[in-house]
Amino acid sequence: MGMMHAAPLIGCGTALITPFTTAGALDEPALRALVEWQVSEGIDFLVPCGSTGEAATLDMQEYLRVVAITAEVAAGRVPVIGGAASNDTRKAIALSMAVIDAGATHLLHASPMYSRPPQRGIVAHFRAIADAVSVPVVLYNVPSRTAGNMEAATTLTLAAHPNIVAMKEASGNIPQIEEILRNRPDGFTVLSGDDAVTVQLISHGANGVISVVSNVVPRAMRELTHALLRRDLNTASRIDGTLQPLYHASGVESNPIPIKAAMYLLGRAANVLRLPLVPLADEHLATVRASLVAAGALPS
């Protein structure tokens, strides 16, 4: 539990893509370059091996390599929140231990998918993980992927655990998120799990975002987040306006299909995904390209 008193997770973190070579292997040089660029652009923290990182299709060796490279390149400059989710609690704990050994400073744990435990099962799952690990845990509620919502009461029960320090909320349920924000304990941070509602959530008191589009525009997303946190709404709405097309484009097919195409257009990664994910449908490429121009990431 040595890290529990680390600085709270505030600002913009990137849910990193995992670059693959055209042959389909882990592209280590591209990953190193991506992490270095993210840190140099001022990103506040990094999240390897989430759904954006195609964690579900990495083998164990690759998975831990991604975390290790991210931690090595970050070199203590920003926190590294390693994804370690599983719908088997024992497996989640074992994976957590390995991810910590690989260099993660925090863990991101989505609520268990497919199994559909009741709320008390979700509480038991996360408590077992938080009791077993030596670094702080970030909860992740993403009902669209897990087929189960974490109710506000569940999140607040878990927030009382000394080793559960933050929540990534991607339910889209604003009253639920407001209830968490109203009743959370001191030091428990709430992060938007969806780029498009970041402005709304931070205006209600959330502390930041774990972003997909910051793969492409880390500096702009960081500046947006920090403008919102300091209530500089003029700056925030100006930046948000330029990013609206990118939020939309990032959702034209399942994440991370569009963001991988965007990274390809920027020359930062091959447009390669692992089955069952497939590259972006051709009819959407113009939308993604135009959104990059609108965001200032590509020349018009």
Supply the residues annotated as catalytic.
140, 168
Question: Which phi and psi angles does 110 have, rounded to 5°?
Answer: -70, 150
